[in-house]
Amino acid sequence: MNETIDQGPSRPPPGRLFRKYLYSIVALAFAALAINTGFDVWFSYREQKQLLAATQREQAASAAIQIGQFIGQIESQIRWLARLPPELSTNEDQRLNAIRLLRLSPAIAEIAELDSQGIERVRVSRRVADRIGSKADLSASPAFRGANESRAYYGPVYFFGDTEPYMTLSTRGTGRNPDVIVAEVNLRFIWDLVTGIRVGNTGKAYVVDRMGVLIAHPDLWRALQRSDLSGHADVRAALDGVGPPSGGLVKEDLTGQRVLSTYATVPSLGWLVFVELPLSEAYAPIYASIGRSTFLLVALLAGAVLVSLFLSRRMTGPIQLLTQGARRIGSGDLGLRLAIKTGDELEALGDQFNRMAAQLRHSYATLERKVIERTSELEKARDQALAEHDAAERARSVAVAANETKSRFLAVVSHELRTPLNGVMGVLQLLDDGSLGEAQRRHLTTAAASGETLIALVDAILEYARLEASTEALEPRSFRLDQLIETAADLMRPQALGKGLAFDLVCDVSVKTTVHGDPVRLNRILLNLIGNAIKFTPAGGITVNATADRQDDHILLRITVRDTGIGIAPDMHERIFEDFVQADDSIARRFGGTGLGLAIARRLSRLMGGGLTVASTPGAGSTFTFEVPLGEAASSVAQGAVAPPTRQLRVLLVDDDPVNCEVGEAILRRLGHHPTIARNGASAVALAGEQSFDVILMDLHMPDMDGVEAASRIGKLDLPRMPRIIAVTADVSSGARERLTDAGIVRVVSKPILINALREAIDDDLKVEPAAVQLSAGGLIDRHFLDDQRELLGSAQIAKLHHLLGETTENLIDDIANAAATGDRKRLARSAHQLGSAASALGLVRLLERCREVELAASLMSLAECKDAARELAALQKASTSALNDLLRPVDSR
């Protein structure tokens, strides 16, 4: 109910429906009224005209009768005179009777009494003197003849004195010799009659004679003018005997006024009485009727408009209410209730609307409840899903953590294994100082190759893991192909020979070339294949064939390893390349092995763009064929003999590992460069700021800051000459490389440092200028370094190194003393170097520095100086060793 109350005062303006209804009803009412009024007016008009014409005809007839009576009265008067018995009267009496008649009838101007012969007896006149007994013979006059021929004679109208209409009237008496009375009648007296005829208010009647001459008219002067109206069409028609039109004739009268005209004929006289009514008056009632009808029409129309307004409002009001209700329901106001009280279908419709709204409201309520239910269900499901997701996420985190643990484990393992190997490799390389004999060198080379193989083997697991993760990247460089194969063969030959097997290496001439490829991976494949052959061949021999076909832009290396071993069943030909699969379970028991070798070999061969296949017959041996494309090397390199560097470079070696530092430094010196050591990132940055370097070899894994950060800090020093930074890392994954690239480091040397790899890396450098090597001075022992080493390598390793250092330094001090005493400066320098290198492994920095200084200055020192240097070194060694012992003892005791 509130809605209706609200809508009351702010009722919306009538809409189209309202106008439509309004116009329709108005049009209907108007049409009905207009048609009704039109017909009414039309019939009324016709009836009125008919009535008017009839009335006018009546008036004309009445006027004609009056005129006829006027004449008839005169006629009867003179007839009375004529019928007086002749013998009853003398002439004088006749005259008196005539005078009496004149007195009685003013229209009679003159009376003449004729005897039956037409002789005039008496003539009495108003204008002239009376005549008595004139005996004038009037028997030939038309009046006498006319009276005798008929009962009465009506003469034609004539005008006396030019203006006065007169008519002669005569009658005859009765008896044997009847007298004839002739009367001259002044027709002007009809004027009184004609004037007295009322035709409406302004209408008039007039009389024309048989000739069409006007004889009586209310305007007297018109009659006096002797107006001949026979020229008028209606008068002419009337004179010709045509009856008057039933509806009257509309014409212009003598004054030019439009009149409704009709006429009647005066009996016996033949005169015409015209009755004319001006149209303005004749139609006035009609116009008044039309006016009344029009007024009524307008009034009714106004009423109809009002009624239409009322009806339209009544009709459209509920509809508008419905429309508004529908709109509000449409806009969601379902609480609305329409209050339409018209008591008809509209109210029913409104009720239906209300029911519909209620239904909708109910439906919406149900729907909302359902929505709430569904929403809560969904929320539950979502919570559950989230919980599951969290669980999955936790599981994944655990898995990731486990994987990371595994990776860390692998990294630690590799590090643990590599570090001692690195030492071995370094020492082996240092042994070749150019003074070795051929046999020694061969042994040394073999040892070095074995070391490298060992490193490679250690890396196998890591590599496999990386391969599995597709993070393995090749490290191509140039190398002598024949040397690689021969070294591998030399490495394996003792095993074969030791097993009593024949071992043949057949190298094609084409193999004697330098190629660009990944020698480490290639070597690994080769060693794997030969090792397998030896392992699975109980008797017979092994033949290794190597050919290198020079193709368009590369060299296709093809190596076959044939054995006379147990062979492989055909169904196992492919499976043996899978992970941890061996031809037979028994094989594992009989031959051992991880089962990873062939898998890695094939993966590596495929990584290099080649392939590895097998052909075998069980019991008849196997033939593994290995094909791989290799790039052509730009220049030949020789292993063993180190080529002099193109230039001496100042190199900053950044590594926290003293052994690595020692090895690295030695290698750099070997390569003819001037190395400077920085054992952590901060000092590296400081040194880079203080001195000018051509190259910085940056270890990535350092305790204070990692190599990438150190590199970026150096980049920010805004040095006049930016040194080239080469990363030294065991992590050669593509992710690590990207990180390096972002820090501006494009060159990477893998750990452990191989001399050729390092040379190649450095040789890529542009021209650099040599710079003075400046070593940082400090305490006797870099405790930080030592702690790091002890933490990294473990106390046992450190103890071992400590012991080794003790022995080595004692011997080297002796050597130095001897060299100084003998003045062998070269030896002095070498020994000093060896001392420093050894000292560096455990952080005896002062000793290392001094050794380096002595080493550098040895060739220029005097003998005394040499001795002093030797003594100083000895003292320093003693002090350092003592300090080291102090430092390590508590550790050892723990």
DSSP-based three-state secondary structure for 106: coil
The alpha carbon of 402 is separated from its chain's Cα centroid by a whole number of angstroms, namely 48
3 state SS of 117 = coil
CA separation, residue 577 to residues 519, 560, 593, 599 (Å) = 21, 16, 14, 5
Query: Considering the complex, what minimum distance in angstroms separates the CB of residue 17 from other proteins?
Result: 56
Which one, 218 or 593, has the nearer CB to other proteins? 218
Buried b (16+ CB within 10 A) or exposed e, 349-383: bbeebbeebeeeeeeeeeeeeeeeeeeeeeeeeee
How far apart (Å, rounded) are the C-alpha atoms in residues 601 and 525?
5
- The one among 1, 128, 641, 796 contacting other proteins by CB under 8 A: 128
Q: How far is the CB of 129 from other proteins (least distance, A)?
A: 4
In the complex, what is the shortest distance from the CB of residue 226 to other proteins, in angstroms, rounded to a whole number? 5
For position 126 contacting other proteins by CB under 8 A, the verdict is yes
Instruction: Check binding of 189 to other proteins (CB under 8 A).
Output: yes
The residue assigned the tokens 């004839």 is: 180
CB of 124 to other proteins, least distance (A): 9
User: 872 with 861: CB under 8 angstroms?
Assistant: no
Residue among 211 and 436 whose Cβ is closer to other proteins = 211
| Long-range residue pairs from 64-69, CB within 8 A, at least 24 positions apart, any chain | 64/264, 64/265, 64/266, 64/267, 64/271, 64/273, 65/267, 66/193, 66/197, 67/190, 67/193, 67/194, 67/207, 67/216, 67/266, 67/269, 67/271, 67/273, 68/266, 68/267, 68/268, 68/269
Size of the site for other proteins (CB under 8 A): 27
Q: Which one of 8, 9, 127, 894 is in contact with other proteins (CB under 8 A)?
A: 127
Structure-token pair, residue 662: 């020692």
3-state secondary structure of 741: helix
Which of residues 93 and 373 has its CB atom nearest to other proteins in the complex? 93
Give the three-class secondary structure for 318.
helix
Which of 15, 38, 85, 106 touches other proteins (CB under 8 A)?
106
In the complex, what is the shortest distance from the CB of residue 126 to other proteins, in angstroms, rounded to a whole number?
5
Q: How far is the CB of 181 from other proteins (least distance, A)?
A: 18
Task: Indicate which single residue of 61, 96, 569, 773 sits in contact with other proteins (rule: CB under 8 A).
Answer: 96
Site string for other proteins, 24-63 (x = CB under 8 A): ----------------------------------------
> Contact between 202 and other proteins (CB under 8 A)?
no
Is residue 102 near other proteins by the rule CB under 8 A? yes
Q: Binding to other proteins by residue 161, rule CB under 8 A?
A: yes
What secondary structure, in 3-state letters, does 330-392 show?
A: HCCCCCCCCCCCCCCHHHHHHHHHHHHHHHHHHHHHHHHHHHHHHHHHHHHHHHHHHHHHHHH
Secondary element (H or E) of residue 872: helix 863-893
Who contacts 526 (Cβ-Cβ below 8 Å, separation ≥6)?
Answer: 484, 485, 488, 559, 626
Q: 388-400 in b/e burial notation, b at 16+ Cβ within 10 A?
A: eeeeeeeeeeeee
215 contacts other proteins (rule: CB under 8 A): no
Please identify, using beta-carbon distances, which residue of 164 and 868 lies nearer to other proteins.
164
CB of 135 to other proteins, least distance (A): 14
**Minimum CB distance to other proteins, residue 279 (Å):** 18
Of 163 and 822, which has the nearer Cβ to other proteins? 163
Point out which span in 121-129, 435-443, 583-591, 723-731 binds other proteins (CB under 8 A).
121-129
Nearest CB to other proteins, comparing residues 113 and 518: 113
Per CB under 8 A, 596 contacts other proteins: no
Among candidate residues 390, 525, 395, the one with its CA nearest the CA of residue 456: 525
User: How far is the C-alpha of 331 from the C-alpha of 324, rounded, in Å?
Assistant: 10
Could you give the dihedral angle defined by the CA atoms of residues 813, 815, 817 and 820, in that order, rounded to the nearest 10 degrees? -130
Q: Contact with other proteins (CB under 8 A): which of 5, 9, 88, 162?
A: 162
Residues near 837 by beta carbon (within 8 Å), at least 6 away in sequence:
430, 662, 665, 666, 848, 851
φ, ψ at 294 (rounded to 5°): -65, -45
Q: Does 777 bind other proteins (CB under 8 A)?
A: no
Phi, psi of 406 (to 5 degrees): -60, -45
Beta carbon nearer to other proteins, 45 or 159 = 159
Residues whose CB falls within 8 Å of the CB of residue 128, separated by 6 or more in sequence, listed in order: 110
For 72-105, what is the HEC assignment?
Answer: HHHHHHHHHHHCCCHHHCCHHHHHHHHHHHHHHC
Does 132 sit near other proteins (CB under 8 A)? no
Residue 367 CA to residue 382 CA, distance in Å, equals 21
Closest distance to other proteins from the beta carbon of 130 (Å):
6
Pick from 79, 95, 477, 603: which binds other proteins (CB under 8 A)? 95
Residue 766 zone, left/alpha/beta (φ > 0; ψ -120 to 50; rest): beta
Q: Does the protein bind other proteins through residue 11 (CB under 8 A)?
A: no
Which CB sits closer to other proteins, 92 or 742? 92
152-160/131-132 β-pairing: unpaired
**Among 69, 125, 289, 795, contact with other proteins (rule: CB under 8 A):** 125
Residue among 188 and 535 whose Cβ is closer to other proteins: 188
For other proteins, the closer of residues 103 and 894 by Cβ is 103
Q: Which residue in the set 29, 84, 193, 220 belongs to the binding site for other proteins (CB under 8 A)?
A: 220
Q: Which is nearer to other proteins, 213 or 732 (CB)?
A: 213
Nearer to other proteins, 186 or 660 (CB): 186
Assess 230 for contact with other proteins (CB under 8 A): no
Here the tokens at position 612 are 């590895």
Smallest distance, Å, CB 151 to other proteins? 28
**Binding status of residue 164 toward other proteins by CB under 8 A:** yes
With CB under 8 A as the contact rule, the residue among 221, 433, 438, 766 that binds other proteins is: 221
d(CA 580, CA 566) in angstroms, rounded, equals 19
Piece in contact with other proteins (CB under 8 A), picked from 92-100, 395-403, 548-556, 882-890: 92-100
| Residue of 27, 99, 371, 412 interacting with other proteins (CB under 8 A) | 99
Q: Considering only 5-13, 22-30, 93-101, 722-730, which stretch makes contact with other proteins by CB under 8 A? A: 93-101
Does position 224 interact with other proteins (CB under 8 A)? The reply is yes
DSSP state letters, 134-168: ---B-TTSHHHHHHHHSSEEEEEEEEETTTEEEEE
254 binds other proteins (CB under 8 A): no
Q: Which is nearer to other proteins, 114 or 187 (CB)?
A: 187
Residue 186 lies near other proteins (rule: CB under 8 A): yes
Phi first, then psi, for residue 186 (nearest 5°) are -80, 110
Q: Residue 101 CB, nearest distance to other proteins (Å)?
A: 10
Q: Does 226 bind other proteins (CB under 8 A)?
A: yes
Under the binding rule (CB under 8 A), the answer on residue 89 touching other proteins is: no
The answer to whether residues 169 and 196 touch, using CB atoms and an 8 Å cutoff, is: no
3-state secondary structure of 205: strand
Supply the minimum distance, in Å, between the C-beta of residue 32 and other proteins.
42
Q: Least distance (Å) from other proteins to the CB of residue 13?
A: 54
Shortest reach from residue 134's CB to other proteins, in Å: 10
According to DSSP, residue 230 is labeled T
Min CB(259)–other proteins separation in Å: 18
| Nearest to other proteins of 226, 292 (CB atom) | 226
Backbone φ and ψ of 754, nearest 5°: -100, 140
Residues 526, 610: Cα–Cα separation, whole Å: 13
130 lines the binding site for other proteins (CB under 8 A)? yes
Residue numbers at the binding site for other proteins (CB under 8 A): 92, 95-96, 99-100, 102-103, 106, 125-130, 159, 161-164, 186, 188-189, 220-221, 224-226
